[in-house]
Amino acid sequence: MSIFTAPVLNYSLLAPILIVLAGAVLGVMIEAFASKAIRPVAQLSLTLGTLILAIAQVWRIRHQSSLTAAMGSVAIDGAAILMQGAVLVIAILGVLLIADQEQFTVLAAAVPGSEEERESLESGQKLTEVYPLTLFAVAGMLVFPVSNDLISLFVALEMLSLPLYLMAGLSRRRRLLSQEAALKYFLLGAFSSAFFLFGAAYLYGYSGSVSLAGIRDSVVGGSGNDVFFLIGIAFLSIGLLFKVGAVPFHAWTPDVYQGAPTPVTAFMAAATKVAAFGAMLRIFYTAFANAYWDWRPLMTVIAIITMLFGSFVAIAQRDIKRMLAYSSIAHAGFLLAGVIALNKAGLDASIFYLFAYGIATVGAFAIVTLVRDSTGEVTDLKRWAGLGKRSPFAASLFATFLLAFAGIPLTSGFIGKFSIFSAAYESGNKAIVVVGVLSSAIAAYFYIRVIVLMFFTDPADDGTSVVIPSMLTRITVIAAFIITIFLGVFPAPLLNFITSLAYFIR
Partner 1 sequence: MNAANYLYVSALLFTIGAIGVVVRRNAIVVFMCVELMLNAANLAFVTFARINGNLEGQVVAFFTMVVAACEVVVGLAIIVTIYRSRRSASVDDASLLKR
Residues near partner 1, by CB under 8 A: 108-109, 111-112, 150-151, 154-155, 158, 162, 165-166, 169, 175-177, 179-184, 186-187, 190-191, 193-195, 197-198, 200-202, 204-205, 208-210, 254-255, 258-259
Cβ-based nearer residue to partner 1, 25 or 151? 151
Closer to partner 1 at the Cβ: 72 or 459?
72
Give the integer Cα–Cα distance in Å for 399 and 378: 17
Cis before 469? omega within 30:
no
- Closest approach, Cβ 492 to partner 1, in A, equals 43
Q: Measured from the CB atom, is 227 or 441 closer to partner 1?
A: 227
What is the C-alpha separation between 30 and 129, in angstroms, rounded?
Answer: 10
Taking the least distance from each CB to partner 1, the nearer of 237 and 473 is 237
> Which of residues 111 and 431 has its CB atom nearest to partner 1 in the complex?
111
CA 34 to each of CA 120, 131, 134, 170, 263: distance values in angstroms, whole numbers, following the listed order:
18, 14, 19, 22, 25
Q: CB of residue 165 vs partner 1: minimum separation in angstroms?
A: 6
In whole angstroms, the minimum distance from the beta carbon of 358 to partner 1 comes to 24
Instruction: Using the CB atoms, write b or e for 323-354: b if 16+ within 10 Å.
Output: bbbbbbbbbbbbbbbbbbbbeebbbbbbbbbb
Compute the least distance from the CB of residue 117 to partner 1, in Å. 10
**Nearer to partner 1 among residue 133 and residue 342 (C-beta):** 133
SS3 420: helix
Describe the crossing of helices 78-98 and 39-60 by its angle, rounded to 10 degrees.
Answer: 160
CB of 199 to partner 1, least distance (A): 9
- CA dist 90 and 390 (Å) reads 29
| 8 Å CB contact between 429 and 338 | no
CB 86 within 8 A of CB 354: yes
**Torsion (CA) 253, 238, 357, 442 in degrees, nearest 10:** -70
Q: How far is the CB of 21 from partner 1 (least distance, A)?
A: 15
Of the pair 177, 495, the CB lying nearest partner 1 is at 177
What is the C-alpha separation between 8 and 186, in angstroms, rounded?
A: 35
Task: Report the nearest approach of partner 1 to the CB of residue 204 (Å).
Answer: 5
Give CA–CA dist 396/394, Å, rounded: 6
